[in-house]
Chains A and B, each alone.
Chain A
Amino acid sequence: MSSTISAPTSSQEPGGAPSGFEADRTAGSLGETVRAYVDRVRGGDLGALPAILGIVALGLLFFALRPETFLTPRNMANLADQAAPIIILAMGLVFILLLGEIDLSAGVVSGVCAAVMAKLLADAGAPWYVSVAAAIVTGVVIGLFTGSLVGMIGIPSFVVTLALFLGWQGFTLRLIGEGGTVPVRDPVISAISDRNVPVALGWVLALVVIAVYAAVQLNRFRVLRGRGLAHAPLPVVLVRIGVIAAVVVLVTAVLSVDRAPAVGVVLAGIPYAIPLVVLLLLLLTFVLGRTSFGRHVYAVGGNAEAARRAGINVTRIRVAVFVIGSTLAAISGIVAAARLGSVAPGSGGGNTLLYAVGAAVIGGTSLFGGRGRVRDAVLGGLVVAIIANGLGLLGTEAYLNFIITGGVLLLAASVDALARRRAAATGH
């Protein structure tokens, strides 16, 4: 035997406390948590900050410019309808961006799926649920196809989806026919954007959401503290609950005001698009945060080689995120079709994809993979929708709309790239 080292020598790093894991044992005060957050932000991990600042700043800007129209309940309901398809498409893109991949065809895929639905409704007279199911199945199949090309054959997603961006537009054109539009008049589908949750039910739903959120948060706090595991301090948990509750109550209150343009008609309540978005937000957040599939998506995005060596089937994850992306694109296409009341050959083209990618990135999802959450799509989607909505109210000319929206996307991508550099420099 050779020189056996006496186990715990005085080999700690300077400043390393002797016990270890001290940050996990102590609950941490509110001040410490705030300081840790400030450190994180300065270290380049901006989280939801840019999106929230964007929502507030743009809200104030358009309120100042159009005080009589922008912050009205009617425009807020309109904003929600406008934001919903962008947000849903962006939710799918979050999964794809988490792997550091891109789906440039997501927008036109939403168009193809909407066209499938519209054709079934209008020409075949199929009931709404058959048409919606067909649209979603179309999305799944398209996602399998894209994902296989990327994951199994190994073509860069940029090239695959650029090719499909063109290809699927041709597909929509063939389905609908040159210059045609297919109306979507099914009452159930139109209800997504035209109808509102009854005011009383809206309030019940709002309170249920708040109560469930608070219960989940408090229960997790209790369990973690009970078992002596890492947890946020109670005041932070309470502030989180308070903020969510305030936002939910505010939105419900604004949308519960009668916003009918004419006297004698009542138009109030939360547009159905909002519960749909909230439902998807909860479901997908659960998938990403609480299941091993979600964990593996982050791992593949952070270090695909590490994931492969850990026994994760990287190809399967790659294909799966494209399936999720295209499925959400299908839902987004349905919501957009409900809002517009028709599907045209150009549906899902134009700036649809740009808006959605912009939404995800503005919300805090990294284009480099490994960082992002489903809520980023919601926050970023609101920013993008506020810009589109506000510029519409200002009556800006089309050319300026393009320039401003493009500029915002560039700005978001720059923030992402700079944050990443900063993170690399500070070791966060």
Chain B
Amino acid sequence: MTVPQADEGTPILELRGVTKSFGAIQVLHGVDLKVFPGQVTALVGDNGAGKSTLIKAIAGIHAIDGGQILFQGNPVSVTGPRDSAALGIEVVYQDLALADNLDVVQNMFLGRERKRGMLLDEASMEASARDTLAKLSVRTLKSVRQLVSSLSGGQRQTVAIAKAVLWESKVVILDEPTAALGVAQTRQVLDLVRRLADTGHAVLFITHNMVDVFEVSDRVAALYLGRMAADVPISQVDRPQVIELITAGRSGNLGIAPAEVAAVEV
């Protein structure tokens, strides 16, 4: 299905032949994917290619029908969001899921508040939130006690990402983090994505934007109609090839076999 790849060490997260159907419609057809620590893997694909379903399968929101999910080389069963969180997989969804009426610290610790007896331990949470943001070299927030409603799009994205990192997470999945951002804010978020990988996280980065892909990614994985067309180091492909993989499922010697492509398109 996919082309043979050079060995690059153990992937922290690996999918093998993952399938998923919703009723009669099969959305994922035996998808393989490897995500490595310290690397940014761009997950690309056209609308309806199955990107969202794939990340929801990893996050445990949709249980997979077939195939295997391996974490640090061991098969794991992910049947709910708590399972993936326990493994250290954090997902930052496109809608960010921040509560506008709470401040940055409160959002970052939402659902996992630190307590001292019955009381919330605000001081410790504020200090940790600031530490995490500082580690990610976030410099654009005036105060961690600002309400999220007063933040710009890029700042919100930053907070959502920092929230994911706060929990000793090993794999961070970002769903189109730059989709609605302007130039300067996209820049900030891309820097942050790069820094996430540089601090040892495995980053799976979903995007439509080719500039973003070539700017920050180490690997690129292209989905085509629910099949993994290619999962290769970025150095092996150029932009036209990635676009071809997204739109046609194959490019040169990469991608789904021609016969299969034809079968899919019928």
Q: Enumerate A5-61 residues with CB–CB distance to B below 8 Å.
A: 5, 7-9, 11-14, 16-24
Neighbouring B residues of A229 by C-beta, 8 Å: 123, 126-127
Among candidates A11, A224, A295, residue contacting B123 with C-beta atoms closer than 8 Å? A224
**Once the chains bind, are B147 and A428 in contact (CB under 8 Å)?**
yes
Among candidates A11, A20, A223, A230, residue contacting B187 with C-beta atoms closer than 8 Å? A11
Contact digits for B132-170, partner A, Cβ 8 Å, 1 yes 0 no: 011001111111111101101010000000000000000
**Once the chains bind, are A230 and B143 in contact (CB under 8 Å)?**
yes
Which stretch (A67-75, A307-315, A387-395) binds chain B?
A: A307-315
Q: Enumerate B59-115 residues with CB–CB distance to A below 8 Å.
A: 81-82, 85, 93, 95-102, 106-107, 110-113, 115
CB of A290 within 8 A of chain B?
yes
Neighbouring A residues of B216 by C-beta, 8 Å: 2-3, 5
Beyond A7-B195, A290-B120, A370-B101, whether A423 also contacts B149 by CB under 8 A is yes
Beyond A230-B145, A292-B113, A312-B110, whether A298 also contacts B195 by CB under 8 A is no
Q: Most chain-A CB neighbours within 10 Å: which of B81, B111, B143?
A: B111
The docked-state distance in angstroms from the alpha carbon of A1 to that of B198 is 12
Among candidates A24, A305, A311, residue contacting B112 with C-beta atoms closer than 8 Å? A311
**Once the chains bind, are A291 and B127 in contact (CB under 8 Å)?**
no
The docked-state distance in angstroms from the alpha carbon of A307 to that of B113 is 12
**Once the chains bind, are B120 and A295 in contact (CB under 8 Å)?**
yes
Among candidates A3, A20, A223, A295, residue contacting B140 with C-beta atoms closer than 8 Å? A20
Neighbouring B residues of A312 by C-beta, 8 Å: 110-111
Chain A residue at minimum C-beta to C-beta distance from B85: A311
Neighbouring A residues of B119 by C-beta, 8 Å: 290-291
**Once the chains bind, are A370 and B99 in contact (CB under 8 Å)?**
yes
The docked-state distance in angstroms from the alpha carbon of A38 to that of B19 is 56
B98 to chain A, nearest CB (A): 6
Among candidates B82, B111, B152, B184, residue contacting A307 with C-beta atoms closer than 8 Å? B111
**Once the chains bind, are A13 and B97 in contact (CB under 8 Å)?**
no
Q: Enumerate A271-306 residues with CB–CB distance to B below 8 Å.
A: 290-292, 295-296, 298-299, 301-303, 305-306
Neighbouring B residues of A303 by C-beta, 8 Å: 97-100
A232 to chain B, nearest CB (A): 10
Q: In the complex, how many residues of chain A place their beta carbon closer than 8 angstroms to a beta carbon of chain B?
A: 48
Among candidates A2, A21, A306, residue contacting B214 with C-beta atoms closer than 8 Å? A2
CB of A174 within 8 A of chain B?
no
**Once the chains bind, are A299 and B140 in contact (CB under 8 Å)?**
no
Neighbouring B residues of A339 by C-beta, 8 Å: none
CB of B2 within 8 A of chain A?
no
CB of A119 within 8 A of chain B?
no
CB of B12 within 8 A of chain A?
no
CB of B191 within 8 A of chain A?
yes
Beyond A291-B118, A291-B120, whether A11 also contacts B184 by CB under 8 A is yes
CB of B32 within 8 A of chain A?
no
Q: Most chain-A CB neighbours within 10 Å: which of B93, B99, B126?
A: B99
**Once the chains bind, are A5 and B141 in contact (CB under 8 Å)?**
no
The docked-state distance in angstroms from the alpha carbon of A296 to that of B120 is 12
CB of B253 within 8 A of chain A?
no
Neighbouring B residues of A302 by C-beta, 8 Å: 99-102
Neighbouring A residues of B140 by C-beta, 8 Å: 12-13, 16, 20
Beyond A16-B140, A18-B139, A370-B101, whether A311 also contacts B195 by CB under 8 A is no
Chain B residue at minimum C-beta to C-beta distance from A224: B123
What bracket does the count of chain B residues touching chain A fall in?
35 or more
The docked-state distance in angstroms from the alpha carbon of A229 to that of B131 is 12
CB of A427 within 8 A of chain B?
yes
**Once the chains bind, are B142 and A21 in contact (CB under 8 Å)?**
yes
**Once the chains bind, are A306 and B99 in contact (CB under 8 Å)?**
yes
Among candidates A7, A16, A17, residue contacting B194 with C-beta atoms closer than 8 Å? A7
A2 to chain B, nearest CB (A): 5
CB of B241 within 8 A of chain A?
no
CB of B185 within 8 A of chain A?
yes
**Once the chains bind, are B191 and A5 in contact (CB under 8 Å)?**
yes
B152 to chain A, nearest CB (A): 7
CB of B235 within 8 A of chain A?
yes
The docked-state distance in angstroms from the alpha carbon of A224 to that of B234 is 48
Q: Most chain-B CB neighbours within 10 Å: which of A24, A223, A227?
A: A24
B183 to chain A, nearest CB (A): 10
CB of A371 within 8 A of chain B?
yes
Contact digits for B195-230, partner A, Cβ 8 Å, 1 yes 0 no: 100100000000000000011111000000000000
The docked-state distance in angstroms from the alpha carbon of A241 to that of B133 is 34
Neighbouring A residues of B218 by C-beta, 8 Å: 1-2
**Once the chains bind, are B102 and A3 in contact (CB under 8 Å)?**
no
**Once the chains bind, are B130 and A24 in contact (CB under 8 Å)?**
yes
**Once the chains bind, are B143 and A23 in contact (CB under 8 Å)?**
yes
A294 to chain B, nearest CB (A): 8
The docked-state distance in angstroms from the alpha carbon of A299 to that of B99 is 6
Q: Enumerate A249-276 residues with CB–CB distance to B below 8 Å.
A: none
**Once the chains bind, are A22 and B142 in contact (CB under 8 Å)?**
yes
Neighbouring A residues of B1 by C-beta, 8 Å: none
Beyond A7-B137, A13-B140, whether A307 also contacts B99 by CB under 8 A is yes
The docked-state distance in angstroms from the alpha carbon of A425 to that of B45 is 35
**Once the chains bind, are A13 and B184 in contact (CB under 8 Å)?**
yes
Chain B residue at minimum C-beta to C-beta distance from A8: B137
28 contacts between A and B (CB under 8 A): A2-B214, A5-B190, A7-B137, A8-B137, A11-B184, A11-B187, A11-B188, A13-B188, A18-B139, A20-B139, A21-B130, A21-B133, A21-B141, A23-B146, A223-B123, A290-B118, A290-B120, A291-B118, A292-B115, A292-B120, A295-B120, A299-B110, A302-B101, A305-B95, A306-B97, A306-B110, A307-B99, A310-B110
What are the 9 tightest A-B residue pairs by CB atom distance, in nearest-first order? A310-B111, A302-B99, A302-B101, A306-B97, A23-B143, A370-B101, A20-B139, A311-B111, A230-B145
- Taking A20-B134, A301-B101 as known contacts, 16 extra A-B pairs with beta carbons closer than 8 A to each other, sorted by chain A number, are A7-B191, A11-B187, A13-B184, A16-B139, A17-B139, A19-B139, A21-B130, A227-B127, A291-B119, A298-B102, A299-B111, A303-B97, A306-B98, A307-B99, A310-B97, A310-B112
Binding site for B on A (CB under 8 A): 1-5, 7-9, 11-14, 16-24, 223-224, 227, 229-230, 290-292, 295-296, 298-299, 301-303, 305-307, 309-312, 370-371, 423, 427-428
